[in-house]
Structure 1
Amino acid sequence: MILQNDRQIQISAAGSRWATSWPVQQLWWSEFIERIKTPARSTESLLTYLRYPKSQQDKLKDVGGFVGGVVDGQRKAANVKGRDLLTLDLDNIPAGETENVLCRLDGLGCGYAVYSTRKHEPAKPRLRVIVPLSRTVTPDEYEPVARKLAEIIGIALCDPTTFQASRLMYWPSCSADSQFIFQYGDKPLLSADGMLAMYGDWKDVSQWPQVPGAQPVQKLAAKQEDPAGKKGIVGAFCRVYDVYAAMEQLIPGEYEPCDLQDRYTYTGGSTTGGAIVYGEGKFLYSHHATDPSGGKLCNAFDLVRLHKYGELDEEAAAGTPTGRLPSYTAMKEFAQADPHVSALMKQEKYESAVSEFGDPDPASDTDWVQQLKINGSGNYLKSVDNILIILRNDPLLKGKFAYDEFANRGLVMGAVPWNEAEGRRIHTDNDDAGLRWYLEAIYGITGKEKIYDGIMLVAMERAFNDLKDYLWGLTWDGVKRVDTLLSDYLGAEDTLYGRTVSRKSLVAAVARVMEPGVKYDYMPILSGAQGIGKSTLFRLLGKAWYSDSLATFEGKEAAEMLQGVWINEVGELNGLSKSETNAVKQFLSKTEDIYREAYGRRTGRFPRRCVFFGTTNDKEFLKDPTGNRRFWPVDVGVREPTKNVFTQLAGEVDQIWAECVVYWRMGETLYLPKEMEERAKEAQESHREANAKEGIILDFLAKPLPEDWRQRDVLQRRMYWSGEFGQTPGNLPRDRVCAAEIWCECFGSDLKYMKRGEAREINDILRGLPDWEPMKTSGRFGPYGLQRGYKKVSTLPKK
């Protein structure tokens, strides 16, 4: 496009209204017209679009946008450096007046472009006017120029907020069936100086044209909540400082009074009298474009916040709530440090506390309060030392925090101001929040970390271990019950192996309480029919410290589930896969768990204080052909029990543990003696899941080989195994083998079809055979080349 009236302009554009950066683009006015003449059309109809909620409408029309000038960083008034384009939204055009407005624009005598905006329809016209300026105008100049041009066009047609220098204008877009209007005029550029000259004094805000019917700021201020009535730091600040006091004492020199009452001039701008005080000092609204608080109705708190800390919000994401802005945080700290605000808050918090909790008991000892340290303003120091004094002495908090050493968790020991429930309960996040609230309300003390430190120190002063106290408090009557526990109550065979498993596992449970983290990595597994009382036995033995909820054996979740549990029942082991069984074995081998607790600040070490018992109804539950040493299987329900687990065990539990304590004090070991290890291996083997291929492989390995076996290729070997062509039987016993040999010769398969899973299965079987062991190094296996194999133990020279 070629225009007779053209100039280079600068705009700032971004792909979304949420953008935090608006890069500057330099282009010709004619290029800009080319960019806006074609809209982005979406697929929905206009009627559908108008039925959408506002959030959906905003999303659809956000096809990116522009500011008609240079924006340095985030799009806000203080960051606008100048404007080359004047933009006006005409949202109040009467029905049927579109053509008249277009004619009016064409008769202005200056260059322009106009396009319809997203909600435009013939019955409710909406147009956006863009006018190129003869020169770049400053932010202070922009609004009076825009308002004067709007007055010429008809300011009643304009959106009341369209005059802001930082205002975003979306690129053209419309619905699938919408009417789109576009028109431009190639005429002289609008003279900014000529427009300003039409004022008596363009810097006087009172001379600027206003949109008729627009809600005056005074009415807006009247509708706002009285800032002095707000709760928290904002209200306290506004009760100490109104706008007048804030301007004079906290941001002196930012504003100067004018001749007119309640009008002030922002000293950093070019216009005068643009800052107006409303509500007898409750609010200020500034029309100054370069004022940090410009275009906002501010109470004293926000006025000081924007002037002192507004620059901190440069990197904040668009749409961030005011309460989460960096400037808000900084202003809160400033207000809290103000001695007048702090003193008022302390007084008001005390009065609130009296009304909430009643008058102090005259008979209670309050001398301890004198131990609390105060600062120069008379406020209690927000120190750990003060918090400790309060937690140890305040009548509503004294003795209420303790630590359960066995469960590794804090407890609340009775009613507290934020929770009237009596009795012992777990210390929760709600208790942390409640204590922070109480300390702030009564003492004006805040600081999450310091309060947390105080709770920990006081709780550890009252640490206890109920389970250890329970065990130490038992006295054995001398009657032996532990060794025959499984045979007496669950009908296990009364064997030395069964007795040993019963004693070792229960003494290990005592040892884990007395010596947390002591080495013990075994798990007895009771195998027997459902309903004979396996779970009942462990539930009664474990008392309040029993659990059958261990759902995983991996990660922090599993470790956390152990805290506060002594007897862990692991049910239905037959449902575990081989990989899950391996995870169980690895889990059992740990003597401590290392992880960071939820909301914890540091990684902690948690020595194991529990033991594990497995239960299953299945006979074959060990799936690993090797590595089952950690499991001690015991068959139960094989004979009639001599005692009833459901009616008699509860009365003997204390004596069972008392007996175990005696064995522990006598130095009972927590592993099986050598002769019992053999019995355990037999039990493990009898409960191992059988693999049908194991017998085939054993038969294959037992067959003798000819002397030239290693020189034969795969085809010759297969012919030998088939017995065809009169093969002479060999006479040499096999002394080594590899997985490839088994796959190709034993199972008659092709090596190229052997997958990793099949190789692993064969290796697992070979590894579990009693007379075979893995070779330490790779060896050559005839036609299969270099392989990791197995050799027969009996062929090794004896040491």
Structure 2
Amino acid sequence: MEYNRKLLVSMAGSRKATYWPKSEIMWSEFVDRLKTPARSLETLENYLALSKSQQAELKDVGGFVGGTFFNDRRKGAYVQGRDLLTLDMDNIPAGQTEEILKRVSGLGCATVVYSTRKHSGYAPRLRVIIPVDRTATPDEYEPAARKAAALIGIEFCDPTTFDASRLMYWPSCCKDGEYVYRVYDHPFCSLDGLLGMYKNWKNVAEWPQVPGSETIEKRRLAKQENPTEKKGIIGAFCRTYSITQAMEQFIPGMYEQTDIPNRYTYTGGTTTGGAILYDGDLFLYSHHATDPCSGQLVNAFDLIRLHMYGDLDKEAKEGTPSVKLPSFQAMAKMARADKEVSTLLIKEKFERAKKVSGLESPAREEDGNVDWVLNLTKDGNGKIEKTIANVTLVLENDPLLKGKIVIDQFASCGMVLGALPWDQREGKRRWKDVDYAGYYRYMETFYGLTGKEKLDNGLLIVSSQNQINEVEDYLESLKWDGKKRVDTLLSDYLGAEDNTYTRAVIRKSLCAAVARAVTGGVKYDYMPIFTGPQGIGKSTFLAILGKQWFSDSLTSFEGKEAAELIQGTWINEVGELTAMTKQETSAVKQFLSKTHDIYRAAYGRTTDKYPRRCVFFGTSNDSEFLKDATGNRRFWPVDVGEYKAKKSVWVDLPEEVDQIWAETYMYWVLGESLFLPKEIEKLAEEQQEKHRESFAKEGVIREFLERKIPVGWDGMNLMQRRQFLQGGTHLTANVDLMDRRKVCAAEIWQECFGSDIKYMGKRDSMEINNILSCISGWKRNKATQRYGFYGTQRGFERV
């Protein structure tokens, strides 16, 4: 061969090969390798009847690319140079093989032509290989190949044959297939001569085009899914940025617009106008050989992916799914970090969740932007991480939740302050079990946050930071008009006597209610008791004062049940004290003395001690309701219904209740004491004694104690004493009498009741001692004394 030179060609054993190593080969050797095709056993007819994938396997006998690649990877952006122009002529009319060979020969340059596996006389298919006199750069290759094709007949070419990274199979034939092989030993084609045929070979608009290539592009576009309709990060990015917007935002200066509409120049290459926009700025196809997205129809996401992160795929295995490529992972991460894309993703996620769940979306226009969601930590796939920090961030910022779930310090319970996505009721209400279900569903649906423990912990943290005190807020909202009403409440509304005692009772008890509501745990262990006829409004009076925090449900005074019953109450009515046993009355007194209660508070897991925030009022229709002979100091009895009430509980009190509390709040702020003054304590004791339940034997014992006895009473025996008490002893004029100074239970049993000491049981002794404890003017001895023939006893002595 006269004309010969060394070429650089990349070769591999299969189209699927990952690496295409470069080889030095003489043109003569290369031509000789194409001389004999690999033949298989099937006929051409049988071959044509096979599927495309089956045909591809049979014709894949290895191949070559007429140039070299960076890192030996056959990718468009990795082309380093080309020594061969390779043309696929698959559109030759029937019977025109010789015509094409004549035209190739007429070029006057070195060429080899060989037929493809599908070639036949009625459907000619040829490959034309033209070596150039110097290595073409990636930018020079396509305009040179197109110009050479135009000299032969570009209309016969496959529109994709001008791709600089395109491979050519080594020749193969069916067993009956015709093989065409021609070699033209002429000087090597002048690369500069080909390019010199253009006015400006760098101007892509001058490049010859395969007729109908626009139709092919349209078909290619038609097969492409609209990128703005894609799901996930690709769709979100393409809905946020068009091709040109993405260029400006992420790779400014990488493309320059030309004078021709929809044509751009890749500034990193030497050709111009080779990047073309399609379908209203949705796609770009670049003819620039050195463009990272050369030869690819790309959307905005892939455009930026290939430019910014395409180099990351150099070591990726061939056939790696696109979503697994390093460039995709990096691009997806960057896109999710982009504020505009991330915000759109969030809004669209919320909208989808809204459609599925029927719940209101947190991304409402009236609530402004959702930038705060960008602060939620996410995993590598862009999903919100299931952390307590993320839960709290949602609760603190979601406009449908923010500030609406709180803890009421007064009631130690969860409160809802307005409409929630799962419950559109306005106004305040208590957090209930059904709210937990709605809360869990909402957090899972809109944020993907699950895990009861984390959700509960986040709820506890945020609600604890947003504490309120409903009663305190109510009291602070009031403004007193200066008219005094509190002191005369009991006489005005319930017909009690207007005196210092009744005035003090109502004033102290209401001030105690304020103190406990505001500060909690205040020492106050008293209970006013209103006693009087039915129907005068005792319970209604308390219910109106207590407003929504009134309760008359307290039936037990022991254990956690009692603590739970008073939780969230302010005014508690303890009704019908006469029906209580002495033991129950003792439980009431013990309960009243507590300043704290133990229970499990809202959103909590453990029990704790919480300050008591309520007070208690008793009501009774019976005047004798104090069971204990002593220890009634905690009860402040008030007789009501004794006079005609000046105001109506049902009509006037609802109108005045706010002013009553405003006045009371003012007294408390000024430091009102919650205890009765000494002089009024005595009046309280009189009322307690008045309402103490009397004993049947009390009158007999009183009379016994008031009867005078002889001066030598301790020296008299039992018979002498009984005779005196029965009037059987005739006293002489000189017998002196005196007041009884001391007495014991045994003495009462035998001398007052006339019973035998051997029949006196412990219960009898306790009954007598209780009666003695209730009789004024007598007190129990601190130490034992001798009581005549009764021996040493612990009894009572006259005060």
Letter in 1 for 2:416: V
Which residue of 535, 538, 544 corresponds with 1:534?
Answer: 538
Give the corresponding residue for 1:760. 766
The 8 Å contact of residues 637 and 688 in structure 2, kept in 1 or not, is answered as yes
Provide the residue aligned with 1:63 in structure 2. Answer: none
Q: Counterpart in 2 of 1:184?
A: none
> Could you say what secondary structure the match of 1:582 adopts?
helix
Q: Does 1:497 align with 2:498?
A: no
SS in 1 for 2:572: strand
Change beyond 3 A, Cα 1:382–1:708: farther
SS of 1:593's partner is: strand
Of 407, 413, 416 in structure 2, the residue corresponding to residue 409 of structure 1 is: 413
Query: Secondary structure, in 3 states, of the residue corresponding to 1:629?
Result: coil
* Counterpart amino acid of residue 430 in structure 2: I
Deviation at 1:388, TM superposition (A): 0.6
Q: Give yes or no for contact 1:704–1:730 (8 Å, CA) kept in 2.
A: no
Does structure 2 retain, via aligned residues, the 8 Å contact 1:350–1:441? Answer: no
AA at the equivalent of 1:764: N
**AA paired with 1:428?**
K
Query: Which of 471, 483, 500 lines up with 1:479 in the alignment?
Result: 483
Question: Which residue of the other structure, out of 581, 586, 592, is the alignment partner of 1:588?
Answer: 592
What residue number does 1:140 align with? none
Distance verdict in 2 for CA 1:446–1:742, change over 3 Å: farther
Q: CA deviation at 1:779?
A: 3.3
Counterpart Cα distance in 2 of 1:494 and 1:682 = 16
User: CA, structure 1 residues 761+361, in 2 after alignment: closer, same or farther (shift >3 Å)?
Assistant: same
Choose from 647, 668, 677 the match for 2:651. Answer: 647
Aligned partner (choices 556, 560, 566) of residue 562 of structure 1: 566
Return 5+ residue gaps in structure 1 as ranges: 1-347, 794-799
Q: Please say if residues 780 and 797 of structure 2, whose CA atoms lie closer than 8 Å, have aligned partners that are also in contact.
A: yes
| Ranges in structure 2 where 5+ consecutive residues have no aligned partner | 1-348
Give the AA of the match of 2:776. P
Q: Does 1:464 align with 2:468?
A: yes
Query: CA separation in 1, counterparts of 2:473 and 2:420?
Result: 27
Partner of 1:620: 624
Cα distance in 1 between the residues matched to 2:480 and 2:561? 37
Q: Work out the CA distance in 1 between the residues paired with 2:663 and 2:721.
A: 64
The correspondence for 1:739, drawn from 741, 745, 749, is 745
Mapped contact 1:620–1:689 kept (Cα < 8 A): yes
Separation in 2, partners of 1:523, 1:598: 28
What is the CA distance between 1:509 and its match in structure 2?
1.9
CA distance in 2, matches of 1:777, 1:373: 77
Tell me: CA distance 1:685–1:350, structure 2 relative to 1, closer, same or farther (3 Å).
Answer: same
Distance in 2 (alpha carbons) for counterparts of 1:426 and 1:500: 35
SS at structure 2 position matched to 1:475: coil
Equivalent residue, structure 1, for 2:390: 386
SS at match of 2:486: coil
Q: Map Cα deviations across residues 272-331 of structure 1 (whole Å, 9 max, x no partner).
A: xxxxxxxxxxxxxxxxxxxxxxxxxxxxxxxxxxxxxxxxxxxxxxxxxxxxxxxxxxxx
| Residue 429 of structure 2 is aligned to residue 425 of structure 1 | yes
Q: Secondary structure at the match of 1:410?
A: strand
TM-score (norm: length of structure 2): 0.52
Q: 1:401 to 1:504 in 2, by over 3 A?
A: same
Number of corresponding residues? 447
Cα distance change of structure 1 residues 734 and 353 upon mapping to structure 2, 3 Å threshold: same
d(CA) in 2 for partners of 1:414, 1:565: 21
Cα distance in 1 for partners of 2:742, 2:463 equals 64
Q: Note if contact 1:349-1:444 (Cα within 8 Å) is conserved in structure 2.
A: no
Deviation at 1:440, TM superposition (A): 4.2
The Cα of 1:378 is off from its aligned counterpart by: 6.3
Of residues 776, 781, 791, the one that matches 2:787 is: 781
Q: Distance in 2 between matches of 1:726 and 1:733?
A: 19
Residues 1:711 and 1:594: Cα distance change in structure 2 (over 3 Å):
farther
- Structure 1 residue 544 displacement after superposition: 1.4
The 2-side partners of 1:637 and 1:544 are apart by 26
Match of 1:681 in 2: 685
Aligned-pair CA distance for 1:707: 5.3
Q: Could you list the per-position Cα deviations for residues 473-496 of structure 1 after superposition, in whole angstroms to 9, with x for gaps in the alignment?
A: 222222111111111222222222
* Matches of 1:362 and 1:637, distance apart in 2: 59
Q: For the structure 1 residues 623 and 393, does the alpha-carbon distance in structure 2 shift closer, same or farther, using more than 3 Å as the test?
A: same
**Which residue does the alignment assign to 2:357?**
356
The answer as to 2:773 corresponding to 1:772 is no
CA RMSD of aligned residues (A): 3.1
How far apart in 2 are the matches of 1:406 and 1:596?
14
CA contact (8 A) 1:350 1:443 kept: no
State the shift of 1:442 in Å. 4.7
Q: Structure 1's 362 and 418: CA in aligned 2 closer, same or farther, altered over 3 A?
A: closer
Give 1:645 shift.
2.1
Distance in 2 of aligned mates of 1:349 and 1:495: 67
Letter in 1 for 2:667: Y
Q: Does 1:672 align with 2:673?
A: no
Asked if 2 retains the 8 angstrom alpha-carbon contact of 1:482 and 1:656, the reply is yes
Distance in 2 separating the partners of 1:760 and 1:449: 57
Aligned to 2:161: none
Separation (CA, whole Å) in 2 of partners of 1:576 and 1:408: 30
Which structure has the bigger radius of gyration?
A: 2
Displacement of 1:685 in angstroms is: 1.8
Question: Would the aligned equivalents of 2:536 and 2:641 in 1 still touch at CA under 8 Å?
Answer: yes
Give the aligned residue type for 2:648: N
**Could you say what secondary structure the match of 2:796 adopts?**
strand
Residue 508 of structure 1 contacts residue 670 of structure 1 at CA under 8 Å; is this kept in 2?
yes
Of 727-736 and 400-409, more deviation after overlay is shown by 727-736
- Report the residue type matching 2:739 in the other structure: P
CA contact (8 A) 1:512 1:609 kept: yes
TM-superposed deviation, 1:514? 2.6
> Structure 1 residues 388, 757: CA separation in 2 closer, same or farther (over 3 Å shift)?
same
Name the residue aligned to 1:659. Answer: 663
In the TM superposition, residue 410 of structure 1 has moved relative to its aligned partner by 0.2
Deviation at 1:644, TM superposition (A): 2.1
Mapping of 1:225-624 within 5 angstroms? 355-357=356-358, 361=363, 365-374=369-378, 380-596=384-600, 600-624=604-628
Q: TM-score, normalised by structure 1?
A: 0.52
Q: Deviations over 1:208-236 (max 9, x none)?
A: xxxxxxxxxxxxxxxxxxxxxxxxxxxxx
Measure, in 2, the Cα distance between the counterparts of 1:547 and 1:666.
28
TM-superposed CA distance for 1:455, in Å, is 1.0
Cα distance between partner residues in 1 of 2:362 and 2:432: 28
- Please tell me the residue identity of whatever aligns with 2:357: E
**After the TM superposition, which residues 2-81 of structure 1 pair with which residues of structure 2 at under 5 Å, given as runs?**
none
In 2, the alpha carbon distance for the partners of 1:421 and 1:568 equals 28
Equivalent runs, 1:81-92 vs 2, <5 Å: none
TM-fit CA distance, 1:628: 1.6
Equivalent residues of 1:468, 1:514 under 8 A apart? yes
Question: Tell me, what secondary structure is at the counterpart of 1:498?
Answer: helix
Q: Which amino acid aligns with 2:483?
A: V
Corresponding residue for residue 134 of structure 2 = none
Aligned to 1:526, what secondary structure does the other structure show? strand
Sort the Cα spacing of 1:378 and 1:785 in 2 relative to 1 into closer, same or farther, 3 A. farther
Contact 1:349-1:442 at 8 Å conserved across structures:
yes
Instruction: Measure the CA separation in 1 of the matches of 2:523 and 2:532.
Output: 28
Secondary structure of the structure 1 residue equivalent to 2:487? coil
Aligned partners of 1:658, 1:558: CA distance in 2, in Å? 30
User: 1:743–1:749: 8 Å Cα contact kept in structure 2?
Assistant: yes
Equivalents in 1 of 2:627, 2:439: separation in Å? Answer: 52
Change (3 A) 1:374 1:715: farther
Q: Residue 415 of structure 1 contacts residue 423 of structure 1 at CA under 8 Å; is this kept in 2?
A: yes
- Which digits, 9 at most, give the CA deviation of each residue in 1:87-130, with x for residues without a partner? xxxxxxxxxxxxxxxxxxxxxxxxxxxxxxxxxxxxxxxxxxxx
Rounded to whole Å, the distance in 1 between the matches of 2:364 and 2:408 is 34
